[in-house]
Structure 1
Amino acid sequence: MSDDLKKGLEGVLVAESELSSIDGDAGRLIYRGYAIEELARGTSYEEALYLLWNGYLPTEDELEPFADALMNEREVDDTVLETMEKLAAADERPMAALRTAVSMFSAFEPESDADPEDLDATLRQGRRITAKIPTALAAFERYRIGEEPVDPHPDLGLAANFLYMLTGEEPDDVAAETFDQALILHADHGLNASTFTSMVIGSTMADIYSAVTGGICALSGPLHGGANQDVMEVLMEIDESNLDPLDWVEQATDEGRRIPGFGHRVYNVKDPRAKILQERSEELAAEGDSKWYDITSTIEEYLTEEKGLVDKGIAPNVDFYSGSVYYQLGIPIDMYTPIFAMSRVGGWIAHVLEYQDDNRLIRPRARYVGSEDQGFVPLEER
């Protein structure tokens, strides 16, 4: 057993997976052998889920019942909606509200007594969680703005339906396709912190509700899931400053501020997901206000070409463009990380199922560096 200390488990292999692979030097991401560019431009989020959960892309005959099953499980119990209303009134954070909602879903799980080793039952439970998260999130946001929740639309896919429940209006094709694509791009990304958290919980054979709730908790931390919100807040700060974006960035870097959305633990070049979302941001800009796209593209060009960050292995990550894309879709800024969870739940479930299929309790160890020979003194003598 090695005594080498690897802070943050940097470079430590803990599992084998067929789900996703990242080549940080080439800027390549694949799901089960398929390039993310092909999946994002040629499939739906439902197809990506099917791929992650079943190992292959579905035929039309396989996709239809799968998508129907997701649609049929979108409704959440009134008790959950009532709780979302109370949390909205209490000004709870959206990620905390989502954590509560998923934990509550288990109370209404029809297969709650299923054997933990019945992975088919676990997958069905995971499908219910995935179907219900958009409904709970949209209801929470509606309550926050003083409106009643919108019932799920019977004819819309998961992405378009979320936008519909959020606004009460059916999204146009560009908005629906853009959001669907964003969900595909965020569905899985190796053993990131939230995915690993879900796997650790799953390795104890806890139920999938516990594993997903744990993933949400890990994703809520600002070092993992909040960068897209940070990016949008910076863009708004730039806009409100009335400064030229380049002047603002120059001033910020001189002050030692970090520009969010640049740099990644794995990628040394531009994140392939950022390239795709940049295209969508440009399309949305062409249909409306181009301000946000103009600012982001200007900053990227300046930092990569003028400042040479790419030469230092620092390039735009997925968050650099997802923030402005979500804003252009009319999504509130503090809902960005919950939307990340709404997508990534597909990957969490897939990794838990894959690991449980050949399960071993995840149990690392720590090196003890404390005292060895403390002399004990009874309480009355201390």
Structure 2
Amino acid sequence: MNKLNSEISQYIKKLAEISNNGNHIQSEMYLEHGIYRGLRDLNGNGVPTGLTEISRIKAKETGADGNTVPCDGELFYRGYNIRDLVSGFLSDNRFGFEETIYLLLFSRLPSKTELAEFKTALAKYRTLPDDFVNNSILKNPGRDMMNILSRSVLALYAYDDNPDDISVANVMRQSLQLISVFPLLAVYGFHSFRHYHKGKSLYIHRPDENLSSAENILHMLRKNGKYTSLEAKILDLSLVLHAEHGGGNNSAFTTHVVTSSGTDTYSSVAAALGSLKGPRHGGANIKVVNMFDDMKNSINVKNKGEIEDYLAKLLNKEAFDRTGLIYGMGHAVYSKSDPRADILKKCAHDLSVEKGCEEEFELYETVANLASDIISQKRKIYKGVSANIDFYSGLVYKMLKLPPELFTPIFAMSRISGWSAHRIEEIQNAGKIIRPTYISVAENKDYIPLSDRK
């Protein structure tokens, strides 16, 4: 068997070489044909592909001379500035994620009565079919939580009496159910992984209908079900900040594309999860934490000069994973600042005080300040560089002692609300299936009979 596997492995390598040798698309050909790779023009602006009312990002403004210049970043959910939304529920000393879900789905802020009714509905939906946890999660333990989440979503299709109905009312029902059960699917999947692959004790806590989404995540995740008020409120804030980010992000765009084909909600959400799983999208905060761990193992982090040298090595592909990236720095849209990072930064500081991690927070701040200047000096950039939300969310999750395996699934627990809003918007405005054009640059060839091929 080992000899056979070795032969197959060598054959696959040979096929890969054939494929690589056949790829003749050079980077300059994209410019020649006017193709914007990644749907971003030469100035880094996104190529418009649709219209949305769900959220808006502001990173530039028109200066006095009429030219567009970078500005402090702003994010709007349904027209409301994210800073105002956060300030509103924090000043009332209450959780904000459920209110954010309502806003994204229904285009307006709920009244007290409407919010209470909505929370009750989410609590009622926060349950899984009989034997689902045992049959779909515990009997099929996996090592990747995003994979578990994806296949659990697809498995729920079989439990839906009306899975293919894409009327707004039915999709709304499916969306609310998925939003409610995402924490259960991810946390139970982690417990399954922890038990079967790590040899740890298995425990499953049922959600408490009297708790918020953030509280339930911590309650179900921890063995004793305990958490502090600050822990729950900061996790809730993180869910709010990750809930939506314009229709152009990869997973939201995926949702629009897949929804436009007329497929079911479960397939659409699974596709969005596949997008978010990618390290260029949802996995960046794990990279930030791992990068800092490598830094602390490689240099004296109390020495500013050594930190500067390490950051330069990162850019030169001489340190960490040698990708040339300083993870958590820079963003495809924002330049001067990421408003989500601004908000989360203050809360990360408060949490660092409660957890006795002030030195860790100070290191992050030092790196954020130094990295911006070093990147500007060493890279040709068209806009400013600042810390993004991934820079601080990884630190926050680490201080909350959340397992790294759940970093991206927590992102999904939040972003499912945005995906649902985009899916419903695409259905309400359904026109054509989204099908962009690729320009073929292959030469025409004469057919060669099999007997004449070499």
User: TM-score, normalised to structure 1's length?
Assistant: 0.92
In structure 1, the residue matched to 2:436 is: 364
Amino acid of the residue matched to residue 220 of structure 1? Answer: K
Q: Which aligned pairs between 1:135-154 and structure 2 lie closer than 5 A?
A: 135-143=184-192, 144=194, 145-154=200-209
Residue 20 of structure 1 pairs with residue 52 of structure 2: no
In structure 2, the residue matched to 1:324 is: 395
Question: Which 10-residue stretch deviates more, 348-357 or 37-46?
Answer: 37-46
CA shift, 1:381, in A, is: 4.3
Question: Which 10-residue stretch deviates more, 138-147 or 240-249?
Answer: 240-249
Measured in 2, the distance between the counterparts of 1:315 and 1:269 equals 6
Residue 248 of structure 1 pairs with residue 307 of structure 2: yes
CA shift, 1:380, in A, is: 4.2
Q: Match of 2:352, SS?
A: helix
CA shift, 1:262, in A, is: 0.1
CA shift, 1:231, in A, is: 0.6
Contact 1:103–1:210 under 8 Å retained in 2: yes
Measured in 2, the distance between the counterparts of 1:242 and 1:83 equals 45
CA shift, 1:302, in A, is: 2.4
Measured in 2, the distance between the counterparts of 1:241 and 1:8 equals 34
Measured in 1, the distance between the counterparts of 2:151 and 2:372 equals 41
What is the percentage of aligned positions where both structures have the same residue? 33
Residue 219 of structure 1 pairs with residue 219 of structure 2: no
Where does structure 2 lack aligned partners over 5 or more consecutive residues? Answer: 1-32, 41-45, 60-69, 90-95, 195-199, 318-324
In structure 2, the residue matched to 1:277 is: 344
Contact 2:252–2:418 under 8 Å retained in 1: yes
Q: Which aligned pairs between 1:1-382 and structure 2 lie closer than 5 A?
A: 4-10=34-40, 11-24=46-59, 25-26=70-71, 27-43=73-89, 44-77=96-129, 78-88=131-141, 90=142, 92-112=143-163, 115-116=165-166, 118-143=167-192, 144=194, 145-168=200-223, 169-190=225-246, 191-241=248-298, 243-244=300-301, 246=304, 247-254=306-313, 256-257=316-317, 258-290=325-357, 291-304=359-372, 313-359=384-430, 360-372=432-444, 374-382=445-453
Q: Match of 1:217, SS?
A: helix
Amino acid of the residue matched to residue 8 of structure 1? Answer: G
Contact 1:235–1:295 under 8 Å retained in 2: no
In structure 1, the residue matched to 2:15 is: none
Amino acid of the residue matched to residue 416 of structure 2? Answer: V
Contact 1:273–1:318 under 8 Å retained in 2: yes
Measured in 1, the distance between the counterparts of 2:213 and 2:97 equals 8
Measured in 1, the distance between the counterparts of 2:160 and 2:372 equals 49
Amino acid of the residue matched to residue 326 of structure 1? Answer: Y
Cα pair distance change 1:81/1:319, threshold 3 Å: farther
Amino acid of the residue matched to residue 49 of structure 1? Answer: I
Cα pair distance change 1:312/1:195, threshold 3 Å: closer
Amino acid of the residue matched to residue 331 of structure 1? Answer: L
User: Which whole-Å deviations, capped at 9, do the CAs of 1:59-106 have from their partners, x for residues lacking one?
Assistant: 011111211111111112323443322443x4x211111111111122
Contact 1:80–1:101 under 8 Å retained in 2: no
Amino acid of the residue matched to residue 350 of structure 1? Answer: A
Contact 1:105–1:129 under 8 Å retained in 2: no
Of structures 1 and 2, the larger Rg is shown by 2
Contact 1:80–1:104 under 8 Å retained in 2: no
Measured in 2, the distance between the counterparts of 1:249 and 1:219 equals 31
Q: Match of 1:316, SS?
A: coil
Where does structure 1 lack aligned partners over 5 or more consecutive residues? Answer: none
CA shift, 1:252, in A, is: 3.8
User: Which whole-Å deviations, capped at 9, do the CAs of 1:325-357 have from their partners, x for residues lacking one?
Assistant: 011111111211111111111111101111111
User: Which whole-Å deviations, capped at 9, do the CAs of 1:140-159 have from their partners, x for residues lacking one?
Assistant: 22221432211101210111
Q: Match of 1:30, SS?
A: strand
Measured in 2, the distance between the counterparts of 1:328 and 1:311 equals 34
* Count of paired positions: 375
Q: Match of 1:21, SS?
A: strand
Contact 1:138–1:166 under 8 Å retained in 2: yes
CA shift, 1:107, in A, is: 1.6
Amino acid of the residue matched to residue 347 of structure 1? Answer: G
